Chain A
Amino acid sequence: MQHKVSDEKAHRSRRGERVGLLALGSLIGITVMGLPGCGPPPKPASLIRLEAMRGQPLTREVQTGNPAGWAESDGYYRQAFQAWNDSDLDDAEDYTQLSTLSYRIALAQTKQKAAEAQLRADGSRLEIAQEQERFYTEEIARIQARVDLLTANLATAESRARERLIAMAAAVKPSGPSEEELASLRQELDAARARLTATEEVKANLYAAGRYNKAKNLLGRAEQELGAGDLAAARTTLAEAATETEAARTEATPKHEELEARRQLAETTQRLQTTAEAIEGVEVRNEPRGIVVAAADVFAPGNKAKLRDDRFLLLDRIASLVVEFAALPVIIEGHTDASGPKGKREALSRSYAETVRDYFLEKGIDAGRITTTGYGDTMPIEENRTAAGRAKNRRVEIVFKLR
């Protein structure tokens, strides 16, 4: 039994030794695994970011502006790099953080120094500007005082000179407007009167009586003012009168032209009618379309437009009438009797009209004034049963168009 216990102890002892040896072997294995040749682990992202930050252009500012801060950050970076190289990632991370913070502190301090330098520079600029402000303010006050003094002196001298001139002028001649000025204004007044009188050509005194009379009154007032020697008032009144004169002309002109046209028309109508009625052998009618001069029995009976030999004298007189009233357009209308083929009467009547037109053209009348037309036997003036009646129906009517 004791032997058995002893064996068991020996067995346990051997087993413990085996476990110890196994642990030692594992430790050696791990150490061997970690030996150089396996290389560092992947670089931490924070360390990569730090290196990127150190590569920025700002780093140069930090290096020059804050060398101590930069040295501290750089030291931490080297430790971080070494820790990473030694695969100590915790230390690498800590040193990376410390280096990053140191870098940013150094950068902020650099910027603070730059701002303080700018503050000092602007302070100097401010002092200089304040000095200039004082200088210019004083200079302006000094010059302004001299300007004020000179202005006052000049004004006084000017005033005295004016007073002396007035006194001299008073001594030389009595006060009042000069003869030249008066004469000039009188001429203006005469011209204004002439212009007002000229408006009577368009009957402004009738068709724009209000303005015409106002202009006339103003001219009367201007004359009074001239007489009183008030030239300024006279000039103003003359200007008003000129305005009213022009307005009176403008207002009267269209009314005058319309009434003048009517008057001329009435006169022409009357003269034409009187002249036409003086021609023996024609019938004259005043119709709305114009003055109608009818010449009967000027064509020989038959189907041809043959002028009767004894009627040329009558046609000559009518032609003279057409020539005299050259401004009026003329229509020559032909009419037949009821004899001959019915279907040819209208054509025959047109031939009557055209024959008379051709005769007029021979007399030198402008063709552009004349139009012709034929009505056949549709508008008889006498019975067609008798030869005398048919002779009267074979006629031409010359219409002088008045409107």
Chain B
Amino acid sequence: MVRALIVTLAIVAVLLPQRDAGADEKQAEQIEQFSRMLATLESEDDARSATAELNVLRNKLLEARLLLRDDKPKDLARLLKLLKPQVQLIRAQIDQGLAEKRAAVQRSKADELDEKVTRLRREKDQLEQRLTVLESQAQSRAATPRPGGEVGTVPVASPASPATTPAAEQ
């Protein structure tokens, strides 16, 4: 009987998890670390890109505190294992949101400037047409004899300097 009891106790000793005296403090410290991370991430998520995932992290931390209070280290360990990737996901979503926001602002600026360039190009074309008409008028006036017999002298503007359009225009 004594022998059977000894065997049973040995099996129980092997099967039961080893209670580490410092395990509780370590887990509590981890929870605090994640809480600080949560506060940091919340402050960074101005664009509210990760609101849902921040709520998930908040709820999991609450659950972790309850498990710590109820002295369930094994369950707590499983939960803590998931908190790190949860934090990474929030970080990735915040970064994604910021990048998309910057890209949208940049695109809007580029679109506006493209429109302005189109307007300027049209304005330049119209001005060139007007200049052509004026030059033609000036030349015909210069060629027309005056009543006294002399030829007019309207100064014609110098020929347009060949402007080089930026390559990107094409």
Contacts and interface: CB of A to CB of B under 8 A. Distances in A.
Given A98-B82, A104-B89, A126-B106, A132 B127 contact: no
B114 A94 contact: no
A101 interface: yes
Nearest to A140: B124
B154 to A, nearest CB: 5
A161 B137 CA distance: 14
Contacts of A17: 4
A119 B95 CA distance: 14
B23 interface: no
B47 interface: no
A161 B152 CA distance: 9
Nearest to A23: B8
B137 A154 contact: yes
B92 A149 contact: no
B99 interface: yes
A112 B92 contact: yes
B93 interface: yes
A135 B117 CA distance: 9
A275 interface: no
B96 A133 contact: no
A170 interface: no
B88 interface: yes
A23 B124 CA distance: 98
Contacts of A101: 82, 85-86, 88-89
A90 interface: yes
A131 B103 contact: no
Contacts of A168: 147
Interface of A: 12-13, 16-17, 19-20, 23, 90, 94, 97-98, 101-102, 104-105, 108-109, 111-112, 115-116, 118-119, 122-123, 125-126, 128-133, 135-137, 139-140, 142-144, 146-147, 149-151, 153-154, 157, 161, 164-165, 168
B130 A147 contact: yes
Given A132-B169, A149-B157, A153-B138, A108 B93 contact: yes
Contacts of A129: 110, 113-114, 116-117
A140 B135 CA distance: 17
Interface residues of B, number: 56
B131 interface: yes
Contacts of A123: 106
B141 interface: yes
B134 A157 contact: no
Given A133-B113, A146-B160, 14 more contacts: A16-B4, A105-B88, A108-B92, A109-B96, A112-B96, A122-B106, A123-B106, A133-B117, A135-B165, A136-B121, A140-B124, A142-B163, A150-B131, A157-B154
Contacts of A132: 117, 120-121, 166, 168-169
Contact of B120 (A12, A104, A137): A137
Contacts of B29: none
Contacts of B102: 115, 119
24 contacts: A23-B8, A94-B82, A98-B81, A101-B85, A101-B86, A112-B92, A119-B106, A122-B107, A122-B109, A125-B110, A129-B114, A132-B117, A132-B120, A132-B169, A133-B113, A135-B163, A135-B165, A140-B124, A147-B130, A147-B131, A150-B138, A151-B134, A153-B154, A157-B141
A149 B134 CA distance: 10
Contacts of B93: 108
A136 to B, nearest CB: 4
Contacts of B32: none
B76 to A, nearest CB: 13
Contacts of B154: 153-154, 157
Nearest to A123: B106
B66 to A, nearest CB: 18
B123 interface: yes
B155 interface: yes
B78 interface: yes
Nearest to B1: A16
Contacts of A12: 1
A137 B154 CA distance: 28
Contacts of B25: none
A131 B134 contact: no
Contact of A126 (B92, B109, B158, B169): B109
A136 B158 CA distance: 20
B39 interface: no
